Structure 1
Amino acid sequence: MILLTVGLALLGVFAVRFHMDRRRVSNGVYLMLALACTGVWLVGNGGDVDLALVLVRLLVVLPPLVVLALAGLLIGNGREMIRREGARSGNLMSIAPGLVLLVPYVLLGVAAATGNLRSTALASLIMAVGYFGFVFASFALYALIYGWLPYKPGMDAIVVPGCGLMGARVPPLLASRLNRAIQIYWEEVAAGRSPVIITSGGKGSDEAVSEASAMAAYLTERGVPSESVALEEGSTTTRENLLFIKRLLGERGASTRMVLVTSNFHVLRTAIMARRLKLDAEVTGSRTAFYFLPSAILREFVALLVAYKWTNIVACLVLAAVPLVLALVTGKVPMSY
């Protein structure tokens, strides 16, 4: 019953934090821990099983397996993107991280075959890899849940951040965001509201016009009144998108209550960024081609790791030190071949 109690308590913490602010990446960690505890209790319920040992094995063994599966998925996804879109540098971004993720497993294999690496160091490496596997699983699960959340109507502004042009043309990924914004706009108008659609994005060196102006043209060509469209043409990053939009809305005299329309893989990180910038904003996503998702989700995960780099560095070092501390305290090697 202890594991069930812990699991339900963690689920309660998740529910409270989710109600207070669903734009927290830590919500996914609480949810994953709650599922792990309750899942282990269900597996061992009614049987003669050491639940604590099962939980430890689950948390130690499963995350490295998640990382290994992710490596295979990224390599396969990179091959698919090259097959569909050619061997451009952007399409190789899945293969390289996938190969990097395989390096620890190659080292473990060499260590196991030669016996050159002490099992304490091996345990530390597994703990470090396991940490990132657990965090990634938590992120992926919560990103999926957050992406399923329905749109909350009643916004003052519908904001569409840019993601690059093809010359002066809106590419399919950006068109998907704009189509979702158009859908939301007409739903708000039908409910008697008059939101403004803000297109956000500057002009890149390889672009004929600014992203904002190309997006605005796309909207007006599809029936959105020009007076309902505002442009923010100075930003070059998602963070600048949000900051400049907040300032633009202030200049127009509107509140900062907004919905950000981005690609579905980018929803959770955008929401977290909006929260950190203290914006009163919700986020909704547009559909993305399935084969594009694995590499895109990995980029989102890496960006969050960097955003919370000190938290992740400290947690990883602490976990990696656990086997070493146990070896010093007990005088025994915590893992052996």
Structure 2
Amino acid sequence: MQWLLLVGSWVAVAIIVGGLMLSLKSNKVRLLNGVIGNLLLVMIFFSLTMTVIYINDRRLSSVFIVLLILILIPIIITYLLSGIMLLWNALIVWRHESHTLQNMLTLLIGLAIIVSPFVFGMIDKYFPSSIAAAITAVTDVIVLYVIFWFLNFLTSFFLSRIFRPSYDKQYIIVLGAGLIKGRTVTPLLAARIKRAKDFSDLQISKTGLAPVIVISGGQGPDEKVPESQAMKEYALSLGIDNDHIFMESKSKTTLQNMQFSKKILENNDIDLSKGLFATSDFHTYRAAGYARYVGLNINGLSAKTSHFFIPNALLREYAAILLSHKKFHIIALAVLIIFSIVQTTTHVIPHLF
């Protein structure tokens, strides 16, 4: 009977791998890929455990346990020190970046993690047990829900980065960002332009085909010139041929970057299927979703971002993705919260009498 369970578990792994490959082929940037990917990790762990038990070799069991401990130690340390680590990251971001709300996500979450034990201690002390239990249950549901989808987002994000572009591209869309003093490209924006140029140079050296560079970015209220103008000036300074640069100067959002750039490409009879976009590495996942939304089935070139900014940037991207499907998540959370409250009151009320 044990060997049937073992074989069945590995068959399940093979089926999940096939499902993940089909899902990635259909759409590389959706949370479903993360759900399937994490399910695959769980099944692989279960299958390996069953294999070790079935073989029943002491040395193999010892190696398996040691590897498991080595994997669990950093996970446990990260869990226990997550609040402090997020606050430390927030301090670094505060020193290097602007003090906007979106740049303070690690600060807010870090404070929430550290303060929460004291807050719930006060709730347990001063609120009736039924209300305290309901508040705790609702909070647990919300936190676990957010963590569940965040883990799926991370897995889906890393799976999407497996992509390697072929050297047959006819265009690269460079997504804009803010300007320094409303006039000069930021290091983050400069990295995007350099990434597009590096790929273009490599493709030219391999195939002789030079893709056009679509510089996309409108003018914000605090900017003296359109982002695309500053971006073009920087691109020319890098040696990109002026004849290979198209400017898109009306967009205000990533969605508009894709929409308006697509119109320029269509007006120039460029094959929409043979393209890429260049943006910061943390932004490629969400940007690819916007590209697909407007009918551009293209992938992204990732420009490197400062390591200290990645945690905050990933949290920001995750929040944006949740908000883009807010109806689904509101309904799902509401159902889970109602179920949790019902379960809590069912167990608490009898103890009051």
TM-score, normalization by structure 1: 0.82
Tell me which structure has the larger Cα radius of gyration. 2
Within-5 A mapping of 1:81-96 = 81-83=93-95, 85=96, 88-89=99-100, 91-96=103-108
2:324 to 301, 307, 312: 307
| Alpha-carbon shift at residue 96 of structure 1 (Å) | 2.6
| Alpha-carbon shift at residue 315 of structure 1 (Å) | 2.1
1:261 to 246, 253, 278: 278
2:221 to 205, 211, 216: 205
Find the aligned partners of 2:176 and 2:261 in 1 and give their Cα distance: 12
Q: Residue type of the partner of 1:88? A: H
What is the aligned partner in structure 2 of residue 27 from structure 1? 33
What is the aligned partner in structure 1 of residue 246 from structure 2? 230
Q: Deviations over 1:188-222 (max 9, x none)?
A: 22212131001000122322221111111111111
Q: Deviations over 1:19-67 (max 9, x none)?
A: 222122221122112223433454576669xxxxxxxxxxxxxx9x988
Find the aligned partners of 1:296 and 1:15 in 2 and give their Cα distance: 27
Q: Residue type of the partner of 1:175? A: A
Find the aligned partners of 1:199 and 1:261 in 2 and give their Cα distance: 10
Q: Percent identity?
A: 27
| Alpha-carbon shift at residue 152 of structure 1 (Å) | 3.1
What is the aligned partner in structure 2 of residue 59 from structure 1? none
What is the aligned partner in structure 2 of residue 54 from structure 1? none
Residues 175 and 276 (structure 1), Cα distance of their counterparts in 2 relative to 1, 3 Å cut: same
What is the aligned partner in structure 2 of residue 128 from structure 1? 142
What is the DSSP-based 3-state SS (H/G/I as helix, E as strand, rest coil) of the residue aligned with 2:301?
strand
Q: Residue type of the partner of 2:93? A: M
Find the aligned partners of 2:136 and 2:29 in 1 and give their Cα distance: 36
What is the DSSP-based 3-state SS (H/G/I as helix, E as strand, rest coil) of the residue aligned with 1:261?
strand
Residues 226 and 249 (structure 1), Cα distance of their counterparts in 2 relative to 1, 3 Å cut: same
| Alpha-carbon shift at residue 312 of structure 1 (Å) | 1.3
What is the DSSP-based 3-state SS (H/G/I as helix, E as strand, rest coil) of the residue aligned with 2:247?
strand
What is the DSSP-based 3-state SS (H/G/I as helix, E as strand, rest coil) of the residue aligned with 2:224?
coil
Q: Residue type of the partner of 1:301? A: Y
Which 10-residue stretch deviates more, 139-148 or 115-124? 115-124
| Alpha-carbon shift at residue 166 of structure 1 (Å) | 0.8
Find the aligned partners of 1:279 and 1:208 in 2 and give their Cα distance: 31
Find the aligned partners of 1:76 and 1:44 in 2 and give their Cα distance: 41
CA RMSD of aligned residues (A): 3.1
1:13 partnered with 2:43: no
Residues 169 and 267 (structure 1), Cα distance of their counterparts in 2 relative to 1, 3 Å cut: same
Given that 1:17 and 1:27 are in contact with CA atoms closer than 8 Å, whether structure 2 keeps it comes out as yes
What is the aligned partner in structure 2 of residue 294 from structure 1? 311
Which 10-residue stretch deviates more, 195-204 or 312-321? 312-321
Residues 137 and 117 (structure 1), Cα distance of their counterparts in 2 relative to 1, 3 Å cut: farther
Given that 1:180 and 1:261 are in contact with CA atoms closer than 8 Å, whether structure 2 keeps it comes out as yes
Equivalenced residue count is 317
TM-score, normalization by structure 2: 0.79
1:153 to 158, 161, 167: 167
What is the DSSP-based 3-state SS (H/G/I as helix, E as strand, rest coil) of the residue aligned with 2:180?
coil
